[in-house]
Structure 1
Amino acid sequence: MTALELVATRPGDVVTLVAHEPSINAVLPDATAAERARAAFHADYQAKGSGAGMVAFIAMTSWQGEFTDAYFAQPAPDPAMFGMSTDDDGTRDDPLLSKNSWAISGYRPDASMLTAAPTRIVIAVGEESAGTYAARTAVGTAALLGQEVTVFPSHHGGFLGGQFGYAGKPDEFAARLREVLDAG
């Protein structure tokens, strides 16, 4: 989202932008429900700590399709089922789970400025992300810009190795990125 804003406001500074699964609520048909889901994981974090907040975030980002009554009716996930602590250490400074991240998901791209820029903008989506929040925001952002998404290997973190427990396909991701950049 930062790079999209850079292109919008300083269009001559970026030649090619590959935005991989930009998490922008405003481009979703269920944007209001997405904001409600975001507020819910924040509330879990505030009430019960990092483990509860993180598993609520994981539930939100892995939900398939629009955020419906079924999403909001599901029970809160158990942090222990994800190998996370159920203890609350009292801290509330996690940049992802606090409201600090809301500026990112609350970003409203200016389609006219972005499409007028000389920058080649590629909106990318992971092949394994289909139907999830980040894939839906990528599709919505691409549509806003009058384009289709470009598919990359793996998922939202497809560029990662296994060092963070969410292994992607970094070699395949890098090869696809090189193809996309070379096509420009």
Structure 2
Amino acid sequence: MTTTRTLDVAGGHLYYEVRGSGPLVLLMGSPMDAEAFGPLADALASDHTVVTHDPRGISGSTLDDPEQDSTPELRADDVAALLDALDADSADVFGSSGGAVTGLALVVRHPGRVRTLVAHEPPLLGLLPDAAEQLAAADDIVDTFRREGVGAAWMKFMGNAGFDVGGGEDAPAPPPGEPSERDLANSTRFFAHELLGTSRYVPDIAALTAVSTRVVVGIGDTSGGLITARTSRALAERIDTPPVEFPGDHGGFTEQPKEFAERLREVLRS
């Protein structure tokens, strides 16, 4: 059974879902919404209380000012407010992509609220040796969005991320049919107000290593050619912890939710 709720947060309203029973674990992305984490949440709900949410400005989470940029810090404060609403002093957190960046900001801004953070492929471009080039590429993606629209921006984004966008065997399959109004709105939000704030975030390494939270860096076992594999290894090196493999690539939790859930259980138990 899934319970849906809405929480008032600073400058907006946060949509979230609760399912299952047991130790509390939060699953989150950015811009991925609660729906994308549904299969993984269902797979974990037999022995966990699982909470998913739509990040601010995405899907069912609305903003008082739709032009407000989304930053990891703002999203981290939203998650802390969500923990308060759940009467939870702390929780385990699985964050993927931009959600992993949110999780890193949460650990630093709200010490003690996270028991274990599994940061799955955070796109921390500033940690790379070629950071200036990669950040310029992110700027170019946003410029492409403003000139040519969502489709062209996604093609450039996926290509820069390391995915095969030329139609080869490894090319990600496009969703069937035309994108929905919600998908278009979420993509517009991502390129106009979220991508740069997330990719430019540089975690406070000293703070991350000083807190009680255990930080686990996750990399997909088929993500070797992706830029997020590089950023994940760079983070793991800086916090002096070996990266942990998870099934699939950057979106492995959507493609293999049962296998991914079992691996996540193992990591949280270890």
Deviation at 1:110, TM superposition (A): 0.6
- In the TM superposition, what are the counterparts of 1:158-173 in structure 2 within 5 Å? 158-160=252-254, 168-173=255-260
Deviations 1:43-96 (A, max 9, x none): 2111111111111111111169xxxxxxxxxxx979xxx7598xxxxx897122
Deviation at 1:116, TM superposition (A): 0.5
Letter in 1 for 2:267: V
Computed over aligned residues only, the root mean square deviation of the Cα atoms, in angstroms, reads 2.6
TM-score by length of 1: 0.78
1:122 maps to which of 216, 220, 223: 216
Q: Distance in 2 between matches of 1:63 and 1:92?
A: 21
TM-score by length of 2: 0.54
- In the TM superposition, what are the counterparts of 1:98-177 in structure 2 within 5 Å? 98-160=192-254, 168-177=255-264
Whichever structure has more strand as a proportion of its residues is 2
Deviations 1:137-166 (A, max 9, x none): 111111111112111010111111xxxxxx
Deviations 1:21-53 (A, max 9, x none): 011111111111110111121121111111111
- Tell me the number of residue pairs that the alignment of Structure 1 and Structure 2 aligns: 159
Q: Distance in 2 between matches of 1:143 and 1:94?
A: 34
Higher relative contact order (CA 8 A, sep 6+): 1
Equivalent residue number for residue 190 of structure 2: 96
Pair 1:48 & 2:140 matched: no
Shift of the 50–137 alpha-carbon distance from structure 1 to 2, 3 Å rule, reads same
Deviation at 1:103, TM superposition (A): 1.1
Shift of the 13–83 alpha-carbon distance from structure 1 to 2, 3 Å rule, reads closer
Structure 1: 5+ residue runs without aligned partners? 65-75, 86-90, 161-167
Pair 1:27 & 2:114 matched: no
Deviations 1:87-137 (A, max 9, x none): xxxx89712222432111111101110000100100100011113111111
Q: Distance in 2 between matches of 1:16 and 1:106?
A: 24
Letter in 2 for 1:112: A
Whichever structure has more helix as a proportion of its residues is 1
Letter in 1 for 2:252: G
Deviation at 1:4, TM superposition (A): 0.8
